[in-house]
Structure 1
Amino acid sequence: MEELQKDLDEVKQLLEKATRKRVRDVLIVEQRKLETELANKQQLQAGESVHKPSAIVPPMSSAYTVKIHNYGWDQSDKFVKIYITLNGVQNVPAENVQVQFTDRSFDLLVKDLNGKNHAMTVNNLLKSISPENSSRKVKTDTVLIMLRKKTESKWECLTQVEKLTKEKKEPPSLDSDGDPSAGLMNVLKKIYDEGDDEMKRTLNKAWVESREKQMKGEMDL
């Protein structure tokens, strides 16, 4: 830019001394070219100074989400307590530990812990809870979720699915005719009648899949 400015100044000096029209025309064209080139360079330099960062900031890495599968639980008369072990969770900002409660479920999301997001969803809780009175606490390497029971009663397990699995493993009670399959159907019917809409959809899906496998086996025979 400094050299361009010197060239432009010299062309202006020659233009002042020139007396021939043809010479003046040539100098005027050269003057305009130099002025345009100088203006473009000044504009480019100004743009770089505006957009150039004062310091190099490394791009933030987008954390991926991992599912939490391991947890422990306990209960008192009023609360079901869920214990989730996450190393260093006490070091993340409080707003990074988020829990959403519904009448029969909860969702936990811990953001940006050791470069990862950690998520846990539990649906079909065994019994109803009070979302507005449920909460979470962050302790050293642990998140404690407090589910406020709607009614003070002992929970056999945490979810309806666990209860169904447990009852499937137990020998079904026999009916008056001594038919084990009828006893099993009675157990399933009881769970279906007592379950919520999601549990009923789960049982219906399982029944349809069982019938499809049975029909396929008969066709193969």
Structure 2
Amino acid sequence: MSDVKIHELRSDIDELQELLKQAKRKRVQDILSLEIRKLETEWIALKDKIRETPMEVAPSSSAGLKKRSQIKLSGYGWDQSDKYVKIFVTLKDVHTLPKEQVYCKLSEKSMELYINDLDNKDYRLVINNLLYPIIEADSHWKQKTDMVAIFLAKADTSIKWSHMTEIEKKFEDKRANRFKTEPEDIDKKDPQASIMSLMKNMYETGDDDMKRMISKAWYEGQHKKKSDTLDL
């Protein structure tokens, strides 16, 4: 309403100013000038009032939207063929989403899967440091019933992947080598020394149960030695 009144006042002022230009008699000019000043004062006061009045902010249309939950996925299955490493992510009703809401971002050694607005939730699966390089342009993904299948094109089709990532392979190799004794070490050391070395390694790398078991075995072994000595 105030905006309309300001507009009307401005129109009145402009019209009176046009009349003032056309007026020839001094008395008429004075009357018009007085009326113009009065309307300009009213126009300025109304503008200042509107400027000082806090504006009501209309509620944003997005304010009423519920924020979606962000879920980081960690579980997946995988398989491989000569050409592809295949990753399978199971999510109920994922096949009902439009294709633009299910997509991957790929690099030579990483894969990120995004599933947006599935039952008001956003899902993300990130796999970094792939075991071997892939070819992004030849890779693709498909939505299946309650599942997304990602096909990562191998850069070297002659290699069979033993693990999905470098970290998984290093961890598995470390576990495999933890209790491994080199053949040359067996030749150089007597059996008793090899057993002691193995027990020490197991104690240092084992969990609390393993440490308790080794401590008990060590104690019983030492106790038996003392008993055998006393019997002699």
TM-score with structure 2 length normalisation? 0.52
Note the 1:67-216 alignment, pairs <5 A: 67-149=72-154, 150-170=156-176, 171-174=179-182, 176-178=184-186
For 1:159, the aligned partner's letter is T
Inter-partner Cα distance in structure 2 for 1:142 and 1:175: 48
Inter-partner Cα distance in structure 1 for 2:150 and 2:94: 14
Note the 1:14-25 alignment, pairs <5 A: none
- Cα gap change, 1:154/1:32 in structure 2, threshold over 3 Å: closer, same or farther? closer
- Cα gap change, 1:57/1:158 in structure 2, threshold over 3 Å: closer, same or farther? same
For 1:70, the aligned partner's letter is G
For 1:100, the aligned partner's letter is K
Aligned-pair CA distance for 1:142: 0.7
State the match for 2:30 in structure 1.
Answer: none
Tell me the matched-pair count. 162
* Structure 1 spans left out of the alignment, 5+ residues: 2-30, 44-50, 181-221
* Structure 2 spans left out of the alignment, 5+ residues: 2-38, 51-55, 195-232
167-176 or 94-103, which deviates more: 167-176
Inter-partner Cα distance in structure 1 for 2:158 and 2:80: 10
Inter-partner Cα distance in structure 1 for 2:97 and 2:106: 21
Aligned-pair CA distance for 1:57: 5.5
Q: Secondary structure at the match of 1:176?
A: helix
Aligned-pair CA distance for 1:130: 1.0
- Cα gap change, 1:132/1:58 in structure 2, threshold over 3 Å: closer, same or farther? closer
C-alpha deviations, 1:137-175, integer Å up to 9, x for none?
A: 111211101011132322111111111121222233516
Inter-partner Cα distance in structure 2 for 1:122 and 1:66: 15
State the match for 2:209 in structure 1.
Answer: none
Inter-partner Cα distance in structure 2 for 1:109 and 1:32: 61
Inter-partner Cα distance in structure 2 for 1:105 and 1:134: 12
For 2:182, the aligned partner's letter is L
Q: What is the identity percentage for the equivalent residue pairs of Structure 1 and Structure 2?
A: 34
- Cα gap change, 1:156/1:92 in structure 2, threshold over 3 Å: closer, same or farther? same
Q: Secondary structure at the match of 2:137?
A: helix
For 1:161, the aligned partner's letter is I
State the match for 2:9 in structure 1.
Answer: none
TM-score with structure 1 length normalisation? 0.54
The alignment yields a C-alpha RMSD, in angstroms, of 4.4
State the match for 1:63 in structure 2.
Answer: 68
Q: Secondary structure at the match of 1:66?
A: strand
